[in-house]
Amino acid sequence: MRLPLSLLAATLILLLLVPGTSGQPISGFAHDMLTCVDATPDGLYLAGGYSSSFGVGETAAIVCLLDASGQTRWVMDHDTEWWDETADVMADLSGRYWLAGATRPNEGLFDWLVCKFDAHGRTLWSRIYFEDYPSAAVSLVSDGEDGAYVLGFVEIDDVKQVGLLHLAADGDVLWTYTSEFVEHHDPSSLARTPAGNLIVASQQNANDDFASDIHVLSFDRDGAPLWDYLHAQPWVQRCAGVDVTTAGEILVAGSTVADTVSEETDGMLLKLSPAGKLLWERQSEHAGRDRWLDVTIVTGDSALVCGVEQDPVTLSKRAVLKLLALDGSSVWKRSYSFQQHAEFTAITGSSSAEFMAVGFADPDEPWMTDYLIASATGVSANVPAQLPATMQLLAYPNPANSRMRLEFTISRSSDMIITLSNVLGQRVSTIAFGRFTAGTHRLPVSLHQLASGNYFVEVTGSDVQSTPLRVVVVK
């Protein structure tokens, strides 16, 4: 269904690193998340999210420009009156940056928010669309010139529909499309094929509010539907990200829930032909709750997916990266822990086979999150980018009473956090964190506040491989 144009008005305390990476923390208010990232034509990365304060109840959309090492060039917050969130960002071919998301100027309905910035983060224009309906933009891609296609949902007669806009460089609407599905649709991601057609990844809810299927739709550059593929299964499916290979094949990342009692989830990846035929389906094999949240093509023969996996025993959540060949076979997978919860929400690749992943991590305080950034180079479908650094740990005296000294040797410079945990896996202290050069290091460890018992020294860092060291405290 095409609506008349008259209806349209013109969010890391400590940075987690992957092999060969570097980066920089970005500070915010209380609850900060990065939700999207895009590679720019000049080798930089544009990341977006939101930052909020629970005490005030306001949320500001955040956009930051990063170099290939994760260093921040600038950070911009787009704050209207009450609530703004960034769902996706995009760098166009003219060197301008776009933001798509949702705005809630008061305690009323959400509206589509689209903004455009110059190379220094200065706002060129900011416009709201679909003001007469509950709505939000969720994804955008370049139209190959100086405009953009924007995807989102529009709630019409209490049913969420897929919405598409084609915007000119100045934000004027060239055409608009909304579906006429009977079922609720939650669109999640938009991609553009080499032929210029659009691929929409959506989640369809039929009669059961809990059950859902993945629905992939194709449109030509003028918004005319071409084909759709429904991945219908007798269990819950969630759709998250989509990307297209140079051959026009489509990869869709998401998750599936086969057991509605335990609610265990598996990350799921679908590959479709350019005509919308299912070629293969792959699921994660980790026991627990896994979700794939985005996918990007990094070389001609491989793809990276990112997301989160939950430990079935401790319930802690780890950020996950997985490299796959385009036949669906796994090349490598790495998970990264940061206190109780770390999650990669979006990932993008570049023409030089680099990638950058963004997300968020929880510090010790409840209801607090901070930005998480990771970058890497030299990703290959054949070998990991770099083998983990090796570490040897030694503590003396052991057993100890009130003090001990920790000695460790690492094979190369690495970013890591060193902690002390009890036998239940609960962190009791942070010994040190930061970047350590190759060689031998000695750190004093205070044990004054600890009761007698067994404890474990643990090292967390994606570029470090070590075994927890048991230490004994005797009072």
Q: Please check whether residue 231 lies inside any domain of the structure.
A: yes
Alpha-carbon gap, residue 471 to 455, rounded angstroms = 5
Residues 6+ apart with CB under 8 A from 360: 11, 12, 32, 33, 34, 49, 342, 343, 345, 369, 370, 371, 372
Closest CA to 174 of 365, 8, 409, 369: 8
Instruction: Give the alpha-carbon dihedral of 16, 18, 22, 28, to 10 degrees.
Output: -30
DSSP strand pairing (97-104 vs 83-91): antiparallel
CATH number, domain of 416, equals: 2.60.40.2550
3-state secondary structure 150-185: EEEEEEECCEEEEEEEEECCCCCEEEEEECCCCCEE
Q: Please check whether residue 291 lies inside any domain of the structure.
A: yes
Identify the domain boundary among 376, 407, 437. Answer: 376
- In terms of DSSP H, where are the helices of 25-176? none
Is 183 in the same domain as 325? Answer: yes
Is 401 in the same domain as 363? Answer: no
pLDDT the model gives residue 31: 60
Identify the domain boundary among 338, 354, 376. Answer: 376
Is 272 in the same domain as 402? Answer: no
Q: Please check whether residue 384 lies inside any domain of the structure.
A: no
- State the residue for tokens 């054949």: 382
Alpha-carbon gap, residue 280 to 19, rounded angstroms = 29
Residues 6+ apart with CB under 8 A from 288: 264, 309, 310, 311, 312
Q: Please check whether residue 415 lies inside any domain of the structure.
A: yes
- Buried (b) or exposed (e) across 333-352, using 16+ Cβ within 10 A? bbbbbbbebbbbbbbbbbee
> Which tokens hold the place of 19?
């092999």
pLDDT the model gives residue 381: 29
pLDDT the model gives residue 157: 86
Alpha-carbon gap, residue 281 to 301, rounded angstroms = 17
- Where the chain has pLDDT below 70, the residues are 1-31, 52-58, 78-83, 105-108, 206-211, 234-235, 258-263, 285-288, 299-300, 337-340, 350-353, 362-390, 412-413, 415, 433-435, 461-466
pLDDT the model gives residue 9: 23
> Residue 213's beta-bridge partner residues?
204
| DSSP letters spanning 224-284 | -EEEEEEE--SSEEEEEEEEE-TTS-EEEEEEEEEETTTTEEEEEEEEE-TTS-EEEEEE-
pLDDT the model gives residue 4: 28
- Buried (b) or exposed (e) across 416-437, using 16+ Cβ within 10 A? bbbbbeeeeeeeeeebebeebe
pLDDT the model gives residue 137: 92
pLDDT the model gives residue 85: 77
Domain count, the chain: 2
Is 469 in the same domain as 333? Answer: no
Is 83 in the same domain as 134? Answer: yes
Amino acid in the structure at residue 196: G
Q: Please check whether residue 191 lies inside any domain of the structure.
A: yes
How is the beta sheet containing 264-272 ordered, strand by strand? 236-244, 250-259, 264-272, 278-283
Is 362 in the same domain as 464? Answer: no
Distances (CA, A) of 52 to 30, 77, 144, 473: 6, 11, 34, 42
pLDDT the model gives residue 240: 86
Q: Which domain holds residue 423?
A: 389-473
How is the beta sheet containing 439-446 ordered, strand by strand? 439-446, 403-410, 389-396, 464-465
Is 108 in the same domain as 139? Answer: yes
Is 438 in the same domain as 322? Answer: no
Is 415 in the same domain as 358? Answer: no
pLDDT the model gives residue 356: 84
Identify the domain boundary among 350, 376, 402. Answer: 376
Q: Are 11 and 360 in contact (CB under 8 A)?
A: yes
Q: What share of the chain is helix, strand, coil (3-state, %, to 5)?
A: 0, 60, 40
Q: How distant is the alpha carbon of residue 130 from its chain centre? A: 27
Per DSSP, 347 falls in state E
> Residue 241's beta-bridge partner residues?
253
- Buried (b) or exposed (e) across 57-88, using 16+ Cβ within 10 A? ebbbbbbbbbbbebeeeebbbbebebbbbbbb
Identify the H or E element spanning 344: strand 342-349
Is 341 in the same domain as 459? Answer: no
pLDDT the model gives residue 19: 31
Is 88 in the same domain as 115? Answer: yes
Q: Please check whether residue 97 lies inside any domain of the structure.
A: yes
Amino acid in the structure at residue 363: P
Q: Please check whether residue 383 lies inside any domain of the structure.
A: no
Residues 6+ apart with CB under 8 A from 156: 133, 178
User: Residue 5: phi, psi to the nearest 5?
Assistant: -65, -15
Is 352 in the same domain as 429? Answer: no
- pLDDT, tens only, 346-386: 999 866 667 888 887 765 444 455 666 666 543 322 333 34
Amino acid in the structure at residue 100: A
Alpha-carbon gap, residue 20 to 378, rounded angstroms = 8
First to last CA, the chain: 74
C-alpha torsion sign, points 242, 179, 36, 192: positive
Amino acid in the structure at residue 146: D
Q: Please check whether residue 381 lies inside any domain of the structure.
A: no
pLDDT the model gives residue 380: 28
> For the purposes of burial, counting CB atoms within 10 Å of the CB of 357, is it exposed (0-12), middle (13-18) or buried (19 or more)?
buried
CATH number, domain of 156, equals: 2.120.10.30
For residue 105, is the peptide bond before it cis, meaning its omega torsion is within 30 degrees of 0? no
